[in-house]
Amino acid sequence: MTTSRPPRLADWLLRRLASGPKKPSLIGDLHEQFRGGRSAAWYWRQTFRVIGGSAAWDIRRHPVLAVRTLALTYLFLAPWVYFTGNIYAFTKWWMVDHVLRRSIVLHDLWVLDQIPLLTAWCFGWALTGWVLAKLQPDCRAGMALVAVSAQVPWAVLYGAPIWRLANAGLPFFSSFPVVTGVVFVMIGLPASLVVGSLLAEPQLSARVPD
């Protein structure tokens, strides 16, 4: 038996990422069909279809915004990577000499896994997604897709040599941090950008009544 209210997460994603002039009527129609007996799985499928269609519609109807998003993505992230990378390199050996030598676990997390650097990158990616969504809230899905796609060349350039190093016959304990770092760059950073984009509160005009 289905409930009268659609799945909350799917509905939240739909309200955040759907776009186009028919957004209010489309969401209202999905709600009506769900109350008419459609399943939660059906609602999730429709949500993904609408989000995919909205992303394509955003890019096709707003090519200038897409180019601007591409430029802003690099404008925000390139300095952030340079700044945080230098700060991490500058403080790493001081931390090793004064703090981390007391704990092997903290040493491995800081030096081998590079948790502080990856955390700073995650924050920067999420903040970039938030800013982009605030700048263009009515085409959030398409611009988030552009921003994520813009990172593919950088991720490949960053990850390819490290991945080859991880598969060069190193012991597992040596290659594991390398592999996790590559996976984080390939998946974790784009996911952080999308999460940041989703957390940006939409404008009142973009809200859809229940």
Q: What is the pLDDT of residues 133-149, one digit of tens each?
A: 999 888 999 999 999 99
d(CA 58, CA 47): 16
Tokens of 40: 């939660």
pLDDT in tens, the chain (210 residues): 445 789 999 999 999 999 888 888 999 999 999 988 889 999 999 999 999 999 999 999 999 999 999 999 999 999 999 999 899 888 877 777 766 677 776 777 777 778 888 899 999 999 999 999 999 888 999 999 999 998 888 777 776 666 666 566 655 555 666 677 777 888 889 999 999 999 987 654 444 444
Question: Do residues 182 and 109 both lie within one domain?
Answer: yes
Q: Is residue 143 part of a domain?
A: yes
Question: Do residues 53 and 90 both lie within one domain?
Answer: no
Domain's final residue, options 21, 37, 61: 61
Residue listed under structure tokens 């509160």? 201
Question: Do residues 128 and 196 both lie within one domain?
Answer: yes
11 DSSP 8-state letter: H
The amino acid at 48:
F
Q: Is residue 48 part of a domain?
A: yes
Q: Is residue 13 part of a domain?
A: yes
Q: Which of 30, 42, 46, 12 is nearest to 195 (CA)?
A: 12
Question: Do residues 43 and 129 both lie within one domain?
Answer: no
| Residue 9 CB neighbour total at 10 angstroms | 10
Please classify residue 88 by burial: count the beta carbons closer than 10 Å to its beta carbon, then call 0-12 exposed, 13-18 middle and 19+ buried: middle
Number of domains in the chain: 2
Q: Which of 193, 187, 144 is nearest to 18 (CA)?
A: 144
Question: Do residues 190 and 88 both lie within one domain?
Answer: yes
Q: Is residue 210 part of a domain?
A: no
pLDDT of residue 165: 63
Question: Do residues 90 and 116 both lie within one domain?
Answer: yes
pLDDT of residue 89: 85
pTM value is 0.81
Question: Do residues 75 and 43 both lie within one domain?
Answer: no
Question: Do residues 92 and 137 both lie within one domain?
Answer: yes
Q: Is residue 3 part of a domain?
A: no
Q: Return the H-helix or E-strand segment holding 150.
A: helix 140-150
The vertex-186 CA angle with 172 and 124, nearest 5°, equals 115
Q: Which residues contact 37 (CB under 8 A, 6 or more apart)?
A: 2
Question: Do residues 13 and 84 both lie within one domain?
Answer: no
Q: Is residue 2 part of a domain?
A: no
Residue spans of beta strands (DSSP E) within 14-116: none
What range defines the domain where residue 196 resides?
63-204
Cα torsion angle, 67, 73, 79, 82, sign: negative
| Residue 184 CB neighbour total at 10 angstroms | 19
Q: Is residue 78 part of a domain?
A: yes
Q: Which residues contact 132 (CB under 8 A, 6 or more apart)?
A: 69, 72, 73, 143, 144, 147, 197
Question: Do residues 46 and 68 both lie within one domain?
Answer: no
pLDDT of residue 156: 76
Helix (H, G, I), strand (E, B) or coil at 113: coil
pLDDT of residue 49: 94
pLDDT of residue 152: 82
Question: Do residues 54 and 106 both lie within one domain?
Answer: no
Question: Do residues 55 and 118 both lie within one domain?
Answer: no
pLDDT of residue 29: 93
pLDDT of residue 170: 58
